[in-house]
Amino acid sequence: MSKNIVVITGAGSGLGAALAKKYSTLGYHICLLGRTKSKLENTANALTNGYTIYEVDVSSKQMVTQIIHSIQDEFGSIPLLINNAGVGYFDNAENLNEDSVHQMIDINLKGTIFCSQAVLKGMKERNEGTIINIVSTAGLEGKVTESVYCASKFGVRGFTESLALELSETAINVCAVYMGGMRTEFWDGIFTEEKTKTLMDPNDIAEIIMDNIKPRKALAVTEVVIKNRR
């Protein structure tokens, strides 16, 4: 059964929800991970196949380890992990409060590390699996009012590239996705409605990700860059 399992963090909205719905139509059992049960339930209501909801704060290594072990106990080794959970607080560097700094580093960076660590043992034992890290173009270049957000995403980039090197002699694939802004609630209160209309559709991003990580003989896609035209 593990062949048809996908674990998605931050699955309650945006890209995570879009990926969950698309994988569900392909017959996957979706493991929906997130901090807010009501949001995960909203995503689950739109799925066409089996699912399991797990309330988890990915910044807690203990909680992540417990949840991943629970999934493995029920379904076996996890073949596909999508590290999508993320938060962003935007202002000039000197104005960012301590809690905002901690949340971005803890969820965006530490959360990606903890979830990846938790699935690696099972993937290595089977010598198969795929880890997708949703990074954002903020992991490629610095941006005004996004100093700490970029710092967290640059960290994810470094972790992803290093992990890929560590696993280069295995059949485990690691891919980083660098995409621009999408039309999701992530930008509520930050962008105007007019600006939000120009952003990318998360369903399009989900399709691009899924197409690029399909198993193909003699090649692996290690990174995907998707930028908004405007």
Mean pLDDT within 185-197: 61
pLDDT at site 219 = 87
Between 222 and 1, the more confident residue is 222
CATH topology of domain 2-226: Rossmann fold (3.40.50)
Place 229 in a pLDDT band, splitting at 50, 70 and 90: confident
In the chain, where the domains are located: 2-226
Q: What's the chain's average pLDDT?
A: 92
The CA distance from 23 to 49, in Å, is 9
pLDDT in tens, 57-108: 999 999 999 999 999 999 988 999 999 999 999 999 999 999 999 999 999 9
Q: What is the mean pLDDT of residues 223-229?
A: 89
- Quote the pLDDT of residue 1: 42
* C-alpha 124: how far from chain center: 20
Q: Which residues are part of the catalytic machinery?
A: 149
Share of the chain above pLDDT 70, in %: 91
Query: What's this model's pTM, rounded to 2 decimal places?
Result: 0.92
**Given a cut of 80, is residue 127 above it in pLDDT?**
yes
Model pLDDT, residue 186: 61
pLDDT digits (tens, 9 = 90+) for 129-187: 999 999 999 999 999 999 999 999 999 999 999 999 999 999 999 999 999 876 666 65
Q: How, if at all, do strands 29-34 and 51-55 pair?
A: parallel
Task: For residues 210-218, give the mean pLDDT.
Answer: 89
